[in-house]
Each structure stands twice: as structure tokens, then as C-alpha cells.
Amino acid sequence: MTISVRTRRDVVVVDPERFMAAARAAYRELNPGLTDAEVAEAVADVADAAYALIDRDGDLVPDSARAGDPPLPGARVPDRPDGLSPAGRVQELVLDEPQPLQDYGCFLPEDVFARPTAPDEQSRAEGSSS
């Protein structure tokens, strides 16, 4: 049996300067011997910044789980030191994935989040494309 957990995590950048500064600080923690110029080159855009925080913390905003009522739609958290406002998380559990990611080796499928299709759906889809 294979259990797959698919996660979507949304975050709004409310302060780009604080976001980039927090990401560069995270990258520096992981690579303490680098100069400011090397850190700035390594963390040059939003994707680099997001990965720097994920690499250090294991999540983009790991401390965002709060007890109580969630914020109203469209409400943002403007004062986080990282300049980010958590904007939702959804997880889906899929049982009996036909092939776990590990078994693909270096060649992942085009869409790793696609839901598995039942064998009869697969043959119908293949038959209709002829």
C-alpha cells in the first residue's frame, strides 16, 4: 500500500524587501562562508528566496499554524519579519498510488500531482484518442 500526501501551500508576499532580506539571512545561515555579494547572487529572485527559506525551515512559513479562527478571506498579516502572509494550506491524502515517486528514479512523470486513473478509465482515454 502506498500513501501519498499532496499539499498546496499559498503565501502572499506583503513586503518584498523584508522577504528577500529574510531569505538571504536564511541562505547565509546555511552557507556561512559566503560574502554579501555571493549571497545576493544566489538569492536573486522570488523562487531563490522561497527555496532558501524552505531549505532552512522545511516550510515557507513554518510557524503559521495558529489556534483559533483563521483570517477572513483577503485579510493579510502585514507585520511578519519575513514579509510573508500565510494564505492557506490544503492537503489531500491519496491511497494506493500505483507507483511511488522513489520508483521513478531521475525521471519523474510530467505531472507528479495528477490523480491516478482507474484501469478502465485509462483504456477508454487511450481508445478515444485513435
- The 10s digit of each residue's pLDDT in 60-102 is 988 766 555 667 888 898 999 999 999 988 889 989 888 888 9
The Cα 71–Cα 89 span in angstroms is 13
Closest CA to 49 of 21, 15, 77, 12: 21
> Which of 12-16, 92-96, 109-113, 119-123 has the highest mean predicted lDDT (pLDDT)?
12-16
Q: Collect all residues with Cβ–Cβ distance below 8 Å to 61 and sequence separation of at least 6.
A: 9, 11, 53, 80, 82, 84, 86
Q: What is the H or E stretch that residue 87 is in?
A: strand 84-95
pLDDT of 129 above 60:
no
Q: Which residues of 7-19 are buried (b: 16+ CB within 10 A; e: fewer)?
A: eeeebebbbeebb
Domains of the chain, by residue range, sit at: 3-97
